[in-house]
Amino acid sequence: MAGLFLWFKNQSSHMTISLHEVVPVPLKEKLLQQASGIWNRDLVFTTPEWIKIKAPSGTGKTTFIHSLYRLRTDFTGEIKWDDRNISTLTAEELAVFRQQKISIVFQDLRLFPHLTAWENIELNRILQTAYCEKERITEMAQILGIDHILQQPAALCSYGEQQRVAIIRALVQPFEWLIMDEPFSHLDKANAGKAAALITAACKERDAGIIITDLHDDDHFDYSRKLVL
């Protein structure tokens, strides 16, 4: 099915995400007392690295993902996408990054409850120049076993189904980095494996990097780096 995909990627460029002594303000006191592979350190992630971040409860996992995606800016230090400090991005520039370079699967999924599963995915496909054909949505839904709920409002789908919808939604847009926050938390092992295979294929096709957080160790992906939050 790779033939259905368009090949936009310029092979020679690698997008970087760099962190310089980042510490979230609300968790500052607590975080500075414990050792961390990420907080208050200098790190550079370069595509196509696949990075696993193991994060025990209370270490600020979701805060980290949201800061990385620039949903929140209440941290000290600096996060850069390529050489741009993300705190200085305008709303329009931010939109371009999110449409073209960075895709995300939220822990809390964030689907539009009134739209059908299919519409939720379709929206992200056509928000920019479509990356893949719309038939690809059905194909991926079939692989993940949710093709029968595509026409249901998202609110009526089970959490596990919604999680798979959110994964497919993240894969129908162009990206260089795929950021995922516990993407398989509500999937059984078999389904998690299928989803991981789908994600692997999509990232390989784009030569994209992965940043994934989870509570535990796992072997869903062939990680190039493992960090502890």
Footprint on this chain of another protein (rule: CB under 8 A): 71, 91-92, 95-99, 110, 112, 114-115, 119, 122-124, 126-128, 173
DSSP state of 40: T
**Toward another protein, which CB reaches closer, 16 or 99?**
99
SS3 81: strand
**Toward another protein, which CB reaches closer, 43 or 123?**
123
**Toward another protein, which CB reaches closer, 59 or 116?**
116
Strand partners, 177: 102, 209
Q: How far apart are CB 52 and another protein at their closest, in Å?
A: 24
**Toward another protein, which CB reaches closer, 122 or 161?**
122
Strand 84-85: give its sheet, edge to edge.
42-46, 16-24, 75-81, 84-85
Q: How far apart are CB 127 and another protein at their closest, in Å?
A: 6
Q: How far apart are CB 91 and another protein at their closest, in Å?
A: 5
Task: Please name the residues in contact with 66: beta carbons below 8 A apart, sequence gap of 6 or more.
Answer: 72
**Toward another protein, which CB reaches closer, 119 or 139?**
119
Q: How far apart are CB 227 and another protein at their closest, in Å?
A: 25
Q: How far apart are CB 75 and another protein at their closest, in Å?
A: 18
Strand partners, 17: 45, 81
